[in-house]
Structure 1
Amino acid sequence: MKRKVSLKDIAQKVGVSTALVSYVLNGQEREKRVGEEVAIKIRAAAKELNYQPNQIAKSLKSGKTHTIGLIVADIANPFSANIARIIEDEAKQHKYNVVFGSSDENADKAWDLIKVLLNRQIDGFIIALTEHAEEQVRYLQEHHIPFVLIDRYYPDIEVSYVALDNFKAAYDGVEHLIQKGYKRIGMINYNSGLYHLQERTRAYRQALQDYNINLEADWCIEVNEDRLKEDMDRHMQELLYGEQPVEALFLASNKIAINGLKFINEKKLRVPEDVAIIGFDQTDAYDLFYCPVTHIRQPMAEIGRKAVQALLQLIDGNQARTQLNLEATLVVKSSC
Structure 2
Amino acid sequence: MAIMKDVAARAGVSVSTVSFVLNGIYKQHKVAESTAKKVLRAAKELGYHVNSSIELSPSSSVRQKIIGIFFPQENHATDLGKITENIYQYTAMQNLACNIMIIPYQLKRLPEIIKNIDWKNLDAGIVVISHLKEPLNSGDFPDELPLVFYNYSDSRFNSVSCSSTESSKQLCDIIHTKGYKDIAVIEGENSPRICDSYFKQFLELCEQSGIFVSAKNYISVENSFYGGAIAARKLLNFNSRPSLILSANTVLAQGAIPVFARNKFFIPYNTELATFGLDSELPYLQNHIPSLTMVVIPSIEMFHIATDLAFQLIENPEIKPVHRICQCKLVLNESLSI
TM-score by length of 2: 0.63
- Kindly state the Cα deviation for residue 55 of structure 1 after the two structures are TM-superposed: 7.6
Whichever residue aligns with residue 221 of structure 2, its letter is: V
CA distance in 2, matches of 1:102, 1:171: 36
Deviation digits for residues 125-184 of structure 1 (CA, Å, limit 9, x no counterpart): 113236698689666x2373212122x33x689643322213444443343333344242
3-state SS, counterpart of residue 142 of structure 1: coil
Contact 1:110–1:130 (CA under 8 A) maintained in structure 2: no
Residue 323 (structure 1) aligns with: 323
Which protein is richer in helix relative to its size?
Answer: 1
Cα distance change, pair 298–205 in 1 and its aligned pair in 2 (3 A): closer
3-state SS, counterpart of residue 216 of structure 2: coil
CA distance in 1, matches of 2:160, 2:331: 22
TM-score by length of 1: 0.63
Give the aligned CA root-mean-square deviation in angstroms. 4.1
Residue 217 (structure 1) aligns with: 215
Contact 1:183–1:213 (CA under 8 A) maintained in structure 2: no
Residue 96 (structure 1) aligns with: 97
Whichever residue aligns with residue 311 of structure 1, its letter is: A
Whichever residue aligns with residue 99 of structure 1, its letter is: I
Residue 5 (structure 1) aligns with: none
Cα distance change, pair 178–260 in 1 and its aligned pair in 2 (3 A): farther
Contact 1:189–1:201 (CA under 8 A) maintained in structure 2: no
Whichever residue aligns with residue 96 of structure 1, its letter is: A
Residue 242 (structure 2) aligns with: 246
Contact 1:125–1:146 (CA under 8 A) maintained in structure 2: yes
Residue 295 (structure 2) aligns with: 296
Q: How does 1:250-269 map to 2 (within 5 A)?
A: 250-269=246-265
Share of identical aligned residues, percent? 16
Cα distance change, pair 233–195 in 1 and its aligned pair in 2 (3 A): closer
Deviation digits for residues 183-237 of structure 1 (CA, Å, limit 9, x no counterpart): 4222223347999634422322323542x33331223444343xx4564444333
Residue 46 (structure 1) aligns with: none
In structure 1, runs of 5+ residues without a counterpart are 1-51, 60-64
Q: How does 1:1-336 map to 2 (within 5 A)?
A: 56=61, 66-72=65-71, 77=78, 79-92=79-92, 93=94, 95-101=96-102, 103=104, 107=107, 118=118, 121-129=121-129, 141-142=141-142, 144-150=144-150, 152-153=151-152, 159-191=157-189, 197-210=196-209, 212-225=210-223, 228=224, 231-282=227-278, 283=281, 286-315=285-314, 316-336=316-336
Deviation digits for residues 26-72 of structure 1 (CA, Å, limit 9, x no counterpart): xxxxxxxxxxxxxxxxxxxxxxxxxx9x9846x7xxxxx52212345
3-state SS, counterpart of residue 281 of structure 1: strand
CA distance in 1, matches of 2:335, 2:123: 45
Deviation digits for residues 212-270 of structure 1 (CA, Å, limit 9, x no counterpart): 33331223444343xx4564444333434323332111212222222222432343421
Residue 4 (structure 1) aligns with: none
3-state SS, counterpart of residue 215 of structure 2: coil
Of residues 86-95 and 322-331 in structure 1, the stretch that sits farther from structure 2 once superposed is: 86-95
CA distance in 2, matches of 1:318, 1:180: 53
CA distance in 2, matches of 1:215, 1:332: 22
In structure 2, runs of 5+ residues without a counterpart are 1-56
Count of aligned pairs between the two proteins:
270
Cα distance change, pair 133–163 in 1 and its aligned pair in 2 (3 A): closer
Cα distance change, pair 258–302 in 1 and its aligned pair in 2 (3 A): same
Whichever residue aligns with residue 307 of structure 1, its letter is: A
Contact 1:171–1:204 (CA under 8 A) maintained in structure 2: no
